[in-house]
Amino acid sequence: MSADSTAALVSEAIDQVLTHRERNCTDPSCARHAGTTDCPPITVSRSPGSVLGEAVAEAWHAAGGSRLDIPAGVVAALALWPQKSPGAEAADTIAAYIAAQPPRVLVRGLAESADFYWGLRPDLWTAARPLFDWTREDLNDTELAGVRAVAPAALRHGVLQHTGDTDPAERSRIDLLSWVITSLRHHHSRRSLGEYHTPPDISELLAAVLAADNGAGGNRRRGEWALEPAAGTGGLFRSAAQDLRRDGEDPAERGWIMLELDPLAAAGAAVNALVWELGPRAFVGCGDVLAQLDLAEDTLAKARDMARHRDDVMKLIGFAIATRTTDQLLDALTASRWRLARSTPRGPGLKEDGGSPRPPREPGRSPGAARRHARAQPYPRVRADLRMPRRRGPVVLAHRHRAPVLRTRALPRRSRPKAGPPDQSAAHR
Ligand SMILES: C[S@@+](CC[C@H](N)C(=O)[O-])C[C@H]1O[C@@H](n2cnc3c(N)ncnc32)[C@H](O)[C@@H]1O
């Protein structure tokens, strides 16, 4: 990733953190603050994957949609939805909330659901991008209507019931994305890639046979790696992982490499690796295994680079947030000094004549520019203000109009006016 895009990423992250921390977000599509909270319950059933896939495809095509990445991405983002609960007991409530959101809020929420995983697994997040890139596009009305139709269809057929459990074994009962992607594809395009994913019964049988073979030979060891060179959305690994769990093993202790030519199927495999919790050594590479013989090694190397880059970016973000927050505090402190000075003619920091402490206006500099110029050099003024009470009394930081206001008990001798009319406002303080 170039330095420019890293800087943009860091800057966007800080803006998000600071904006949401202050709870003053005005972005109309922000799912956290602008979404509706009027969410009537919806009827949900935990339908089989085939029924859910058909319902999604029907809703999408009825709304006039043509692309595959959008409806498949809607389901993938819902499957990744980060709030999981035991027995998926919160799924109904979350489904009602998501189904009630207006289209742009919905798109933003789905994007955030996917983005949540960048910090966890930047490589899988990157492999999954073909399913989520559309969330950053300016969608047309048909596409928005399609998203608005697909999400409730998937929710009503139980996408969150399938994927909202805290137990990964429960989330691995079906390969939801395989059902959705294959339902969305027309038969002719499926045939061109040979993309008929193995039916779950067969893949479970295969996993059981392989496990029995390995078990008899004593080959089945913790820490082993498995490679799937034509992985589709990873259905065979789902069965293998479930088989391990049934035997009391944690699939996360193994290594899983899935390679796949079709970017959308590879993206589905990456999402599945997260939903099924295949663990920190589950990787997805997209490419032609016949032409790229080192695709597996290349996938692992890229994943290491992305993790390093993620760590660098996180450090930068932490540092930048800390420094920007300090800067904002100083700014607020300085601004509050101006306000205080304006409302209390004899406040601390005033000039001897009791007038405004503003710097003299330079010719050609507007009042706004003068303020910005003064704020750009806050240190001498702030340090002088903070030194002052140490000699004369304690500093009290109070909140007035949400900005910190600096008050002192008494004025330093130097700042007191030598002579002049009695100060009315001082008498009321
Ligand atoms: C029949 S599907 C099997 C998928 C999966 N293994 C399963 O059992 O569900 C075959 C998959 O291989 C992929 N594929 C075909 N040619 C490939 C190639 N040269 N390199 C990588 N993947 C390929 C197709 O895109 C398709 O998803």
What is the domain partition of the chain in residue ranges? 25-293, 317-354+369-414
List CB contacts of 408: < 8 A, sequence separation 6 or more. Answer: 348, 388, 389, 392, 393, 395, 396
Residue nearest to atom 20 of ligand 1 (CA): 288
Which of 227, 91, 253, 226 shows the shortest CA–CA distance to 157?
A: 91
Q: Quick one: which H or E segment has residue 403?
A: strand 403-408
- How far is Cα 156 from Cα 128, in angstroms, rounded to an integer? 24
Closest ligand 1 atom to residue 230 Cα is 12
Closest ligand 1 atom to residue 262 Cα is 25
Residue nearest to atom 8 of ligand 1 (CA): 198
Q: How far is the CA of 191 from the centre of ligand 1 (A)?
A: 11
Q: For 387-404, write each residue's pLDDT tens digit.
A: 333 334 333 333 333 333
Residue nearest to atom 17 of ligand 1 (CA): 261
Q: How far is the CA of 135 from the centre of ligand 1 (A)?
A: 27
Backbone φ/ψ region at 46: left (φ over 0), alpha (ψ -120 to 50), beta: beta
End-to-end CA separation in angstroms for the chain? 58
Q: For 398-423, write each residue's pLDDT tens digit.
A: 333 333 333 334 444 554 444 444 44
- How far is Cα 326 from Cα 320, in angstroms, rounded to an integer? 10
**Pocket test residue of 177, 260, 299 for ligand 1, highest count of atoms within 8 A of CB:** 260
**Residue 336 · residue 417 · CB < 8 Å:** no
Which of 65, 109, 53, 250 shows the shortest CA–CA distance to 167?
A: 250
DSSP string, 206-234: HHHHHHHHHHHHT---TT-EEEETT-TTT
285 lines ligand 1 (CB under 6 A): no
- 324 CB neighbour count, 10 Å cutoff: 15
Q: How far is the CA of 280 from the centre of ligand 1 (A)?
A: 23
Q: How far is the CA of 193 from the centre of ligand 1 (A)?
A: 7
Q: How far is the CA of 257 from the centre of ligand 1 (A)?
A: 14
Q: How far is the CA of 121 from the centre of ligand 1 (A)?
A: 24
Q: For 334-345, write each residue's pLDDT tens digit.
A: 777 777 676 665
- How far is Cα 215 from Cα 209, in angstroms, rounded to an integer? 10
Chain centre to alpha carbon of residue 48: 29
Closest ligand 1 atom to residue 289 Cα is 20
- DSSP-based three-state secondary structure for 395: strand
264 lines ligand 1 (CB under 6 A): no
- In this predicted structure, what is the pLDDT of residue 242? 96
Q: With bands split at pLDDT 50, 70 and 90, how would you rate the model's confidence at 201?
A: confident
Q: With bands split at pLDDT 50, 70 and 90, how would you rate the model's confidence at 178?
A: very high
- How far is Cα 99 from Cα 42, in angstroms, rounded to an integer? 8
Per-residue pLDDT at 31 exceeds 80: no
**Residue 184 · residue 262 · CB < 8 Å:** no
Backbone φ/ψ region at 23: left (φ over 0), alpha (ψ -120 to 50), beta: left
Residue 428: phi and psi, rounded to 5, are -85, -10
Q: How far is the CA of 255 from the centre of ligand 1 (A)?
A: 20
**Residue 111 · residue 137 · CB < 8 Å:** no
DSSP string, 308-327: HHHHHHHHHHHHHHHHHHHH
Output 134 or 10, whichever has higher pLDDT: 134
265 lines ligand 1 (CB under 6 A): yes
Q: How far is the CA of 265 from the centre of ligand 1 (A)?
A: 9
Q: With bands split at pLDDT 50, 70 and 90, how would you rate the model's confidence at 191?
A: very low
Residue 301: phi and psi, rounded to 5, are -65, -45
Q: How far is the CA of 395 from the centre of ligand 1 (A)?
A: 70
259 lines ligand 1 (CB under 6 A): yes
Q: How far is the CA of 231 from the centre of ligand 1 (A)?
A: 5
- How far is Cα 267 from Cα 285, in angstroms, rounded to an integer? 9
Tokens of residue 391, six digits: 């000699």
**Pocket test residue of 193, 233, 272 for ligand 1, highest count of atoms within 8 A of CB:** 193
- In this predicted structure, what is the pLDDT of residue 196? 67
Q: Strand 225-228's sheet: what is its strand order?
A: 225-228, 255-260, 282-286
For the residues 353-373, what does the mean pLDDT come to? 56
Residue nearest to atom 27 of ligand 1 (CA): 232
- In this predicted structure, what is the pLDDT of residue 373? 60
List CB contacts of 409: < 8 A, sequence separation 6 or more. Answer: 389, 392, 393, 394
- In this predicted structure, what is the pLDDT of residue 134? 98
- How far is Cα 28 from Cα 10, in angstroms, rounded to an integer? 22
- What distances in angstroms separate CA 51 from CA 54, 58, 232, 263, one per listed residue? 5, 10, 20, 24
Per-residue pLDDT at 426 exceeds 80: no
- How far is Cα 122 from Cα 313, in angstroms, rounded to an integer? 11
Q: How far is the CA of 149 from the centre of ligand 1 (A)?
A: 30
- In this predicted structure, what is the pLDDT of residue 308? 96
Residue nearest to atom 4 of ligand 1 (CA): 232
